[in-house]
Structure 1
């Protein structure tokens, strides 16, 4: 346990030290080496903790933001909020705690073709963190559809936020509300269609297949399994 704590402390020190360099050098090897020098962490240990240097630091920064969002959301009283407003609050807390320039540099990094899949995975992880923090209990195909929809909303909102120059990012929060409203309208339309006899007859076969899909039980079970 003591060794684990020491490792986590070293990770935190390196990440904190790197942040002041990323605005100038991006999530790069230069920032990684500067973080080692500033933090005093042993270079061998630093490389063991972040084998890819700046890329792994960027991943760690993203995950730290997800964790901070979950803590901030848990401290809020959500009982008076509609579910859509809880989702909007979670995204807002996630972005308000982030440094825009560091996120911009991360977005540039994960837009590169050889990092794009990992970048998409990080957005999915944020959507999963939000739904988990909000107590989502879906274990069927809805587990996936919820995260897919929220990933699209979150990704679009981040891009808008990066270019937002309005006071307190007011334009971003308005954009976010519109995107969530779009999702709500789609869900309402989908629910209505699913109740129609024609839809049930047409989708009888595909729906049987979808019923067999279950949510993953852990990271080793990703992306989930078919029942039966």
Structure 2
């Protein structure tokens, strides 16, 4: 189990959930939430990463607000009300906090995001190439792939996308992949015969796919270990 922590965000305070491994200093991973908020499932991802030998921090981009299970209208409201500039500052502050934490070793950190967070980690990597060296995006919803700003991105990128995703169609996902390749990114995408949020065991839309989730998780760990040590 992790703990709630406070860190600086552009002169203000932000909060997040920090999970650390038992063996001491480890590679750091920023975990970015789905549109539900910093809920038990995202905290569980941090705990799982800690169990695999990483130090994981999930910043609370909704600042204490949360959508309950299956409250999709509430989740959409929270997403639409979230100030994008504040979220960017919070993620950047989380990067600095994590990179300087005693439980983290190495010069760079990774970023892992789901749904909304899968888009945000790409933007974070483009804004913080000094610290973010590896990115994993799970079915990141990118509204306009052709306009995705990844000009500053130097991190290696791994993507996990579904072929029956009503929120992020396959062609849009391939558009993100093309955009990254055109920018010269070290990029590898995987596609699964599944629906949106197939790796979220608590998702309320009935698309969780245990086998594909397990495969994607193994690939994620292998990628992060190879890139972060």
TM-score (norm 2): 0.30
Name whichever structure is richer in helix by fraction: 1
**Which has the greater radius of gyration?**
1
State the TM-score, normalized to the length of structure 1: 0.30
Give the structure with the larger strand fraction.
Answer: 2
